[in-house]
Chains A and B, each alone.
Chain A
């Protein structure tokens, strides 16, 4: 696995990540690629509140005896588990939906105060072709809330951006002890079918 050192701050767009960094992996769908990238980053613990967009990744991790999976009752629990995992020398990832970011706000002070690596993969709702208006307020607030708590926000709008963005986020988190959220846009995921 190659590593990418991000020399810039703030929001990294998929366009930036795609510049010269994209590697074609034509025969895999993106959840399978994501799983491979996270395994290559030596992720050994996964926490999640289920989301349809994460369902295949959750299934892949659940089937992996080398990874401990935790289903959460609320997303902030995952921030605490990630902290404990790192204390014990283990890398982890937190999978959640944008609405769950709102449930994490105060708990994010734990990882910023302790400078604990945090990698969150956030599936977005309330933006691209959203049917359910109840998803919109937290969808609008997701990136600003994370930024307000000192979390670095990166975003992938298309599948081709996603893998490079997550690879880069994992390096930032685990090598530079940063707290990083990658937002997986609803356009990438596809609008929820009703």
Chain B
């Protein structure tokens, strides 16, 4: 049942997902996922969002299409993904095998006062993604499941993947990456060997 409380710590989950990141490119949804990924270790291959709610997975799509030989991991929250539900349909049409969306789902809008989100009211994001046509979808509630996702980030896939990790609703101390969006963009592009104008 989607509303059952999870005991997973979001920082531990994200740190575990990225512990052996190798060549992964990472896009983060605004709010806690951006802080979680930064807390796991700043990296030139991280693209942090501070706004543009609903965009994270679709930025991942555009990037995955432009860089078909690199795996792109989008780490976002339930609220951010809920604003981009239609984008799941768009991603599934393209279905790039190098795109993985991971929703850190705490059933709440954590950044704005912990209001209960649609997933807290029972909506199953993995089922939505499956219905849209993602090739592999799963919701996990324990570290064993997180470790399986972490391994699968480096495994070949037949299409776009969508994982939900149910976590405890809490706001750990913020770990803030640069807010200068041009800097973050140029740093990311330089990581791929791309120039600035």
Contact = CB atoms under 8 A, between A and B. Distances in A.
B185 A88 contact: no
Contact of A84 (B27, B51, B86): B27
Nearest to B195: A89
B132 to A, nearest CB: 10
Given A84-B58, A87-B59, A107 B52 contact: yes
Interface residues of B, number: 35
A63 B55 CA distance: 27
A71 B94 CA distance: 9
A117 to B, nearest CB: 9
Contact of B194 (A70, A89, A106): A89
* B interface majority secondary structure: helix
B59 A70 contact: no
A172 to B, nearest CB: 11
Contact of A89 (B53, B64, B67, B87): B67
B153 interface: no
B51 A87 contact: no
A84 B192 contact: no
A115 interface: yes
Contacts of B94: 68, 70
Nearest to A108: B52
A123 interface: no
A176 B197 CA distance: 7
Size bin of chain A's contact surface: 20 to 34
B90 A87 contact: no
Contact of B66 (A89, A116, A177): A89
A114 B182 contact: yes
A45 B181 CA distance: 22
A176 B49 CA distance: 23
Contacts of A116: 185
Interface of B: 27, 47, 49, 51-56, 58-67, 84, 86-87, 89-90, 93-94, 181-182, 184-185, 188-189, 192, 194, 197
17 contacts: A71-B93, A73-B86, A73-B89, A82-B62, A83-B52, A83-B62, A84-B60, A84-B62, A86-B62, A87-B62, A88-B65, A89-B66, A89-B192, A90-B66, A107-B52, A115-B181, A116-B185
